Structure 1
């Protein structure tokens, strides 16, 4: 999960800004905590939501000073299983004896079917 997305300030095109996803949670002790997913070291706790967000923003700005946030496109390996028979598909398409072989297979199957039918009728 990426906590950062880039945005350009409409007030000034020179002022680069980053939108940051923050998890804000009311704690059992009544305080409010704020944390950036993926950066647990920047967790803050304050008496209210506004103060927690202000403190977290200050810590983030200090943490990111002089840093650059970039997005990388990573190609993930395919998780789908490949059919090993596909590598052989079509290898006989230009074989002049392919049609003869298909005819021989069809004739053999017909002979076996006829033989089984005759055996069945004799029993």
Structure 2
């Protein structure tokens, strides 16, 4: 498996955006949770205080860590096993004869099914 890690130059600080869940607690405080990192939470007496504490906590955490983007290539596409048989009889002199036979059989079966359904329909109408 080949992994490609994309990093940006260390002298640039990209602006990161995060979704934050704000919850009212029973004691009247607010809990801010960083979605995607449920262990990154903060409490505050107001929503703003909880968010500010969360931001400070995340910044402290990122001082000793980094965020990278990892590209994982798709696995090899599985080929249809029947493709190796496609067209194998195209030059067979009996191929057209076989197709005609299959078509005749299919027509006969279709006619039998039509008759069967007509009988069923007639029986239901007489009841």
* Same fold (TM > 0.5): yes
Partner of 1:97: 94
What does 1:1-123 align with in structure 2 at a 5 Å threshold? 14-74=12-72, 88-106=85-103, 109=105, 113=108
More strand by share: 1
Q: Shift in Å at residue 87 of structure 1?
A: 5.5
Distance 2:12 2:43 in 1: 32
Q: Shift in Å at residue 65 of structure 1?
A: 1.1
Q: What TM-score do you get using the length of structure 2 for normalisation?
A: 0.57
Q: CA RMSD in A?
A: 3.4
Q: Shift in Å at residue 76 of structure 1?
A: 6.1
Sort the Cα spacing of 1:96 and 1:26 in 2 relative to 1 into closer, same or farther, 3 A. same
- Give 3-state SS (helix, strand or coil) of 2:15's partner: strand
Kindly indicate whether structure 1 or structure 2 has the higher relative contact order, using CA contacts under 8 Å at least 6 residues apart.
2
Query: Which ranges of structure 2 fall in alignment gaps of 5 or more residues?
Result: 1-10, 113-127
Q: What TM-score do you get using the length of structure 1 for normalisation?
A: 0.58
Distance 1:73 1:14 in 2: 21
